[in-house]
Amino acid sequence: MRKMKKHTKPNEIISKIKTGDIIMVGGFGLVGAPLTLIDELTRYDVKDLTIISNNLGEPGKGLGILLRQGKIKKAVGSYFTSNREVGDAYNQGKIDAQLMPQGTMSESIRAGGAGIGGYFTKTSVGTKLAIGKETREIDGEMYVFEPALKANVALIKAAKADTLGNLAYYKTARNFNPMMATAADYVIAEVDEIVEAGELSPEEIITPHLFVDAVITSELILTREGVISRHALNKKRDSRINC
């Protein structure tokens, strides 16, 4: 029988990350981002990280904290506009940054997880982002070569996991998470709820458990009022019941 995935604490598994590692981090802005794991990473003594994530948080928030801490060597993403400190750090030579079209970024991660070394795409042909890249004419149209992306560790977010590590997502919080789950040596999923194996319908499982190495329960949750701790959320609910 397959061993149950250990439901563990963030600080026990974040130690899988070593100085110099390549880390994929899910999310489109804060939506679908593993907020608890990111928070834990900011407390952990590690540096020279390459972060592959659509954004690098906001100034002093999320992955933006890691940037301020000087733990990031290189950022790979499609939209750093949400954190102007990325541009500043890049111009000052503090970090290396690789800007990718969002579709190329997601496809390169998908390729990395599927054992594909790279692929040709029409996106970015003839633009500044294609400078120095191999091109090829296919059926009369120009394509640019894009290598696959892989990582040492992926930090992802899902709505639910079962005890085997099968994952189900919620609305637009899915985004990059399913691909990142396939493209790293060690995959840590942060989820809002863990259920018994068998409780998730096979039809609703988007990421099968073979991709997932460890599961933690989220302590930081995105709400209408912003990011708050589960503890504060429970207290607020209790006080509502008491009213």
Partner 1 sequence: MRSTKKEIQELIAKRAADELHPESIINLGIGIPTLVAKYVDTSSVFFHTENGMLGVGELPSDEEFDPSLVNAGKLPIAETVGASYFSSSDSFAMIRGGHVDVAVLGALEVDEQGFIANWAVPGKNIMGVGGAMDLLSGVKKVIVTTNHTTKTGEPKIVNQCSYPITSVRKVDVIITELAVFTFNDGQLQLAELMPNVTLEEVKEKTDAHFELSPNMLLKS
Q: Which is nearer to partner 1, 46 or 228 (CB)?
A: 228
Q: Which is nearer to partner 1, 17 or 176 (CB)?
A: 176
CB of 98 to partner 1, least distance (A): 10
- DSSP code for 171: G
Q: Which is nearer to partner 1, 4 or 138 (CB)?
A: 138
CB of 137 to partner 1, least distance (A): 13
CB of 100 to partner 1, least distance (A): 7
Question: Distance between CA 101 and CA 150 in Å, rounded?
Answer: 17
Question: Distance between CA 38 and CA 32 in Å, rounded?
Answer: 12
Question: Distance between CA 56 and CA 208 in Å, rounded?
Answer: 28
- DSSP code for 20: T
Q: Which is nearer to partner 1, 2 or 81 (CB)?
A: 81
Question: Distance between CA 192 and CA 220 in Å, rounded?
Answer: 9
Residue whose structure tokens are 């981002």? 33
Q: Which is nearer to partner 1, 69 or 102 (CB)?
A: 102
Question: Distance between CA 74 and CA 178 in Å, rounded?
Answer: 23
CB of 55 to partner 1, least distance (A): 9
Q: Are 214 and 8 in contact (CB under 8 A)?
A: yes
Listing DSSP states for 47-61 in one string gives -SEEEE-S---BTTB
Sites of contact with partner 1 (CB under 8 A): 28-29, 31-32, 54, 78-82, 84, 86-88, 90-91, 97, 99-104, 106-107, 109-110, 121-129, 142, 169-179, 206, 222-224
Q: Which is nearer to partner 1, 5 or 110 (CB)?
A: 110
CB of 202 to partner 1, least distance (A): 18
Which residues lie closer than 8 Å to 212 by C-beta, 6 or more apart?
5, 161, 165, 166, 167, 181, 187, 189
CB of 3 to partner 1, least distance (A): 27
The structure tokens listed for 106 are 């997601």
